[in-house]
Amino acid sequence: MSRPSLVSLVDDDESVLESLPDLLKEFGFAVNAFSSAEEFLASGSVSATKCLILDIALPGMTGPDLQRELTLRRQEIPIVFITADEDETIRPRMLERGAVDCLFKPVSEATLLKALDRALCVN
């Protein structure tokens, strides 16, 4: 692990935006955090991102919208969706769309790490 892989986070919740990047850094990743999909797309981090942790319910462009947009841009970044909703039907839909995983907040450390590992393996 010469250079840490860049993990990008897109979530509009303040608590998540503050806490998750610190944890990811503790895991040893480089982290860029964005509060909206549009912000992420506008940043220069898209091509460098090895894994995208993406909230589903975002204001404006949603998580799945961003996924579609990235596919159209041929930026096939492994995506781990996270959501605060407890709708069990969301997960299979997201996996079907090619997400590495879909996690329900609050997500345990182990679960998150496992998902990140799978994402980076894909890479």
Partner 1 sequence: MGHEARSTGKPDDPGCATRPDDSSIGEARFREILDGIPGLVITAAATGELELFNLQVLEFFGKTPDELRDWTVGAIVYPDDLARLVEAFTLSMATGCPYDLEYRLRRFDGVYRWFHGRALPVRDPEGHILSWYFLLTDIEDRRRAESLLASENRLLEMVAGGNSISKILDELCGFVEATVTGSYCSVVLVDSTGTRLEHGAAPSLPSTFVTAIEGRPVNIESGPCAMAAYLNEQVISADLALETRWKEYEWCPMALAHGLRSCWSTPISSTIGKVLGAFAIYYTEPRIPTVEDQVLIAQFTHIASIAIERQQSQMSLSRALHELKTSEGRFRTTIDAIPGLVWSAGPDGNVDFLSQAWCDYTGVGLEGAGGSGWAKTLHPEDAERLTGYWASLLASGESGEFEARFRRFDGSCRWFLIRTLPLRDETGRIIRWYGLNTDIEDRKQADSLLAGEKRLLERVASGTPLGSILEDLCHFVEATVTSSYCSVLLVDPTRTHLQHAAGPSLPINFNASVDGLPLVVTSGPCATAVCLNEQVIAADITLDRRWAEYAWCPMALANGLRACWSTPISSTNGTVIGIFAIYYKEPRTPTSEDQALIGQFTHIASIAIERAQGEAALTRSEAFLAKAQQLSLTGSFSWRVATGEITWSEQAYRIFEFDPVRAVTLELIGSRVHPDDIPLMHDMVARAQAGKDFEYEHRLQMQDGSIKYLHMIAHGIVDEVGQMEYIGAVQDVTERRLSDQALSKVRSELAHVARVTSLGAMTASIAHEVNQPLFGIVNNASTCLRMLAADPPNIDGALETARRTLRDGNRASDVIKRLRALFKKTEAIAESVDLNEAAREVVALSLSDLQRNRVVLRSELASDLPPVIGDRVQLQQVILNLLRNASDAMSSVTDRPRQLVIRTEGDEGDRVRLTVQDTGVGLDSEAIDKLFQAFYTTKISGMGIGLSISRSIIEKHHGRLWAAPNTGPGATFSFSIPRGPGAVTGVDSLDTIRTPAAATEAAASWGTRNV
Which residues are near partner 1 by CB under 8 A? 13, 15-16, 18-20, 22-23, 26, 57-60, 62, 82, 84-87, 104-109
Backbone angles phi, psi at 2, to 5 degrees: -65, -50
| Secondary structure (3-state) at 73 | coil
The nearest distance, CB 120 to partner 1, in angstroms, is 19
Backbone angles phi, psi at 49, to 5 degrees: -70, 125
The nearest distance, CB 74 to partner 1, in angstroms, is 26
CB nearer partner 1, residue 49 or residue 83: 83
The nearest distance, CB 58 to partner 1, in angstroms, is 7
CB nearer partner 1, residue 19 or residue 123: 19
Provide the 8-state DSSP code for 47: T
Q: With 0-12 CB in 10 A as exposed, 13-18 as middle and 19+ as buried, what is 47? A: exposed
